[in-house]
Amino acid sequence: MTRHYPLSDTMRAFVARTQSYATKDPSITAQRASYERMAADFTPPRPPGLRISELCLDRLPTVRLYRPADLPPATGWPTVLYLHGGGWTLGGLGSHEFITAELALELGALVVAVDYRLAPEHPYPAALDDCLAVWRRLRSGTLGEPVDTSRLLVMGDSAGGNLAVALCLALREAGEPQPGGQLLIYPALGDGETPSRTSCADAPLLSREDLDACLAAYLPHAGDWRDPLALPLRSGDFRGLPPAFVAVAEFDPLRDDGERYCMALREAGVDCEFFPGHGLVHGALRARGVEEVEALYRALYQALRRFLR
C-alpha cells in the first residue's frame, strides 16, 4: 500500500500501527469506534501538573479545558482553541488529547478542545457554528477560566484546520476581533483537481477516495461547495486574517490545499510560515518519536510561542 511512497522505516511502522485499527464495516458507528480505538492507542497517560475539566453549557457543545495546575497569570491564560480533525465525521474530546494536554503544559496555556457536532448527522454549518459559539464565549470570558484575549489563538488539524480558517473568515465578515494567530496542520481547504490529489490519490491514511467521502458527508448540498466558509480556498479575499503557521504532509492529497492557502495569505499581505512536511503522511501528528514528525513539532512550538508573546 505504501511501497511507492518513500517513507522512512519509522513512518512506515506508524502507518502500519494506525492501519491495524481499520474496519471493513462501512457504518459510521463502526468507523467512529475504530477511530476512537486508534486514537486511544496513541494517547499517552495524562501528565502530572495538569488540571482538566469539562463544561456542558446551554446551547454550546461540550468543551474540555486543559491548563497547568498553577494559578493563572494576572492577565489571564494565554489560550489556544483546538479544533480536532477526523474528516468532520470522526473524533471528539478524547481523540486529540495526545496533543491538547501537551500543548497546555508546554506553553503554560489554557487549551480548549471542542466537541463540535459531526456529519453526516449534522452537516455544514453545524460544526462551524459550534466552534464560533465557543470562540465567542472564550472572548467574553465566560468559560470559567480567565483568558488573556490579547493572546488567543486558533489551531486545527485536517478538518479542524478547515474550521479554524472558516472561523477567521466568519469573524472578519462579522467585524469581530481575529485570533492572534492561526495554526493549521494539513488542513482541508478546497475541492477540485490539484496535483497532490492526483499524485497522492492512494496515499496511506488518507486517499483521494477517503477525502471525497468526507467532503460529501460534510457538504451534502450543492450550494455549500461554493461557500467560502465551507471551503475557504473559495474566498477571493484573505486580507485582514491573522498571521499563520501552515504545515502540510508531503504524501497527502491535501498537500496543495495548505500550500495554496499560505500563498494566498502572503499575496494578501498576511504573514504565513510554511512547513513542507517532508516525509510526512496525513495524520502524522500522532507519530511522536519519528524524526520527521519531531521536526514538525519543533517548528510548531516555535510558531506558537511567537504568536503568544
Per-residue pLDDT reduced to its tens digit, 215-229: 999 999 999 999 999
Query: Above 50 in pLDDT, residue 2?
Result: no
pLDDT at residue 253 in the model: 98
Determine whether 235 is an active site residue.
no
Grid coordinates representing 162?
478547515
Ordered by where they begin, the domains of the chain are 9-308 (3.40.50.1820)
- CB of 18 closer than 8 Å to CB of 290: no
Q: Residues for the chain: how many in total? A: 309
What is the distance, to the nearest Å, from the Cα of residue 176 to the centroid of all Cα atoms in its chain?
A: 22
Determine whether 278 is an active site residue.
no
Residue of 115, 130, 158, 196 with catalytic role: 158
List, for residues 79-108, the tens digit of each pLDDT value: 999 999 999 999 999 999 999 999 999 999
Q: For residue 288, give every residue at least 6 positions away whose Cβ sits within 8 Å of its Cβ, in sequence order, or none.
A: 98, 294, 297
Determine whether 8 is an active site residue.
no
pLDDT at residue 72 in the model: 95
Residue of 115, 148, 252, 257 with catalytic role: 252
pLDDT at residue 59 in the model: 82
